[in-house]
Chain A
């Protein structure tokens, strides 16, 4: 009895399936495993950020404007607002590009710098303080009003949310009040440096990058799932049934693939006026299925004539069952590799679309919208947001591409050595 049992179990024990073998091969691929770890780390970060455990308070303005990263140290510019109620804000220290003779907008930048440095915690009653923000700060009047208001009711100043129940900006006002309550408090509340710097409003770039990763990776993943699903479905139906169905889908494929991908995306973005994370997922997913279709169709053409499918036919399996229960597991590795190729492509596309302003809405942060802000910041010499978003994206995309290569090698050892393509 026992011997029979083991004899029966033995074949199962010694012949691992495709996935077990692939996993074994992947494990022996050191580059692949490191990439897998990095990708997994990003995914965990995305989930944590999605459920609000990490970077929930990314929008909090915790640092001074353009707070430099801690490892750079607070520079003279950031020192200006930090120093309590100093006289007129020291003009920006002469920097390399300001001194360059050919710079056409050097003055403007210097002005901007001088104006922006003390913008948030405006110290009251300063000639320069009242004058400089007027150049750039559209809220200068409001601020002044708040300040005079506060001076009038001096003791009640720091109380948050005082007797204005219907004011929609009550919270913001309270924040501002808190900020202007005492200069000492402002210095405490807004640190001069942040772990990886701050943006225009003093938000922590590190947290912002985490939040941006959440958006960008989620959009990439979701859109890739949509596109892969469509491509697989079309490819399966087309390759399996053949005849006029195949002709129809081939025509459909030819139409979609003759319009360059980015142009198609932009055209759809132009038509769908409303912006939103869902919209961009749909745009990318509905336009990006062609590559998957081509490969899956080819696989189905190959597999539908195989013996195991004929056997399934003989025992009376329905078409749908043969397509998705019998054939699909045998081609699923192709789909998986395509999925991970698409994730990378879609993350890149999302960044570009959001950068152009056709992507995620304004209140959602993504790598693309960060790069958009970073473009102007770089001219002011604030490189950290660009570095943070650029590095995070480069790291993930590199890891994902290497993982894709490793997956391809692990799942289809025949292809080994033919990387690229």
Chain B
């Protein structure tokens, strides 16, 4: 087990280097000279030279790359270009609000869509099943923007059940006042694809021999579905959940933007709008690392759920 983890971590190194190289090429080579972005419209050559020296852009590429690698390793990306806030501080403070939205969303999404998937797969082929699938397909094709705009208008603005936007101080206040509607919208958007996917996972299991055996020995349908089928179907479900996690952190960016939640996603959009390269660079690199880590975690959880899985 330990050997496996160490080997996997070791295998991550080239990928990490690749991510660093990609980000570096993108921002230092494709993006052109950042000094002009930073100096703005009113600038003279002296200022530009000065900025170039500070950023190290006047150095050869390999020195710049080394600077960037050092930044990644020491987690010190300097200060934001637009607000002069430390990038590490930005990331640390924005993570909380994002997690406040994303974690309940992920948990609720998993619970609701697994339950629905079991129910729908149980009555597969029936009118209910087909109706639910049609609703899912149509629901999937409506833009997330439409959901957010309509829900925000209707529930927050018109009915006044929730605050239109904003963010509080305490965790509970945020969770039950400000984050409720965003989580609700996230659920509506994410259940349709999850349900469709999980339904196929359950359908793969529901016709297996062990289900018939379980019925033959007189187990209740509830037990068959919730214990036997679910345990087997949960392997692909876990992969899906784990691989959704880093994406969700950003996927919520539209929601964060609409509801003015000071999270990671909103920070990305702000940074792109302001050409705030250090923030985007740091976020891209760290989110890529988080993705790799959660993939590893998913593989380890496989093993926990399904003893047949051989880690190699």
Contacts and interface: CB of A to CB of B under 8 A. Distances in A.
B143 A390 contact: yes
Given A271-B26, A420-B196, 11 more contacts: A251-B15, A260-B287, A263-B287, A266-B272, A267-B272, A270-B272, A273-B275, A348-B143, A375-B145, A390-B142, A393-B142
Sorted nearest first, the 10 A-B pairs with minimum C-beta distance are: A397-B141, A255-B18, A271-B31, A398-B141, A270-B272, A390-B146, A420-B200, A420-B196, A258-B288, A394-B142
B115 interface: no
B116 interface: no
B114 to A, nearest CB: 15
A371 B145 contact: yes
Interface stretch (B87-95, B100-108, B149-157, B174-182): B149-157
Contacts of A394: 138, 141-143, 146
A129 to B, nearest CB: 30
B284 A267 contact: yes
Nearest to A273: B275
A320 interface: no
Interface string B26-53: 1100110000010000000000000000
A259 B26 CA distance: 13
Q: How large is the interface on B (under 10, 10 to 19, 20 to 34, 35 or more residues)?
A: 35 or more
Interface of B: 14-15, 18-19, 21-23, 26-27, 30-31, 37, 137-138, 140-146, 149-150, 153, 157-158, 160, 196-197, 199-200, 203, 246-247, 250-251, 253-254, 257, 268-269, 271-273, 275, 277, 280, 283-284, 287-288, 291-292
Interface stretch (A114-122, A148-156, A227-235, A350-358): A350-358
A264 interface: yes
Nearest to B254: A352
Nearest to A268: B26
Interface in A232-281: 251-252, 254-256, 258-264, 266-273
Contacts of A166: none
B30 A272 contact: yes
Contact of B15 (A258, A397, A400, A420): A258
Q: Is the interface of B mostly helix, strand, loop or mixed?
A: helix
Contacts of B246: 260
Contacts, number: 137
A100 interface: yes
Contacts of A419: 200
B145 A355 contact: yes
A418 B294 CA distance: 27
Interface of A: 96-97, 100, 102-103, 251-252, 254-256, 258-264, 266-273, 344, 348, 351-352, 355-358, 367-368, 371, 374-375, 378-379, 386, 390, 393-398, 400-402, 418-421
A295 B22 CA distance: 23
Q: Is the interface of A mostly helix, strand, loop or mixed?
A: helix
Contacts of A421: 197, 200
Given A260-B247, A262-B250, A379 B288 contact: no
A100 B157 CA distance: 10
A351 B197 contact: no
Given A267-B284, A352-B254, A401 B15 contact: no
A401 B288 contact: no
A402 B138 CA distance: 10
A82 to B, nearest CB: 27
Contacts of B283: 263
B72 to A, nearest CB: 14
Contacts of A348: 143
A102 B158 CA distance: 10
Contact of A386 (B30, B37, B150, B160): B150
Contacts of B288: 258-259
A361 to B, nearest CB: 16
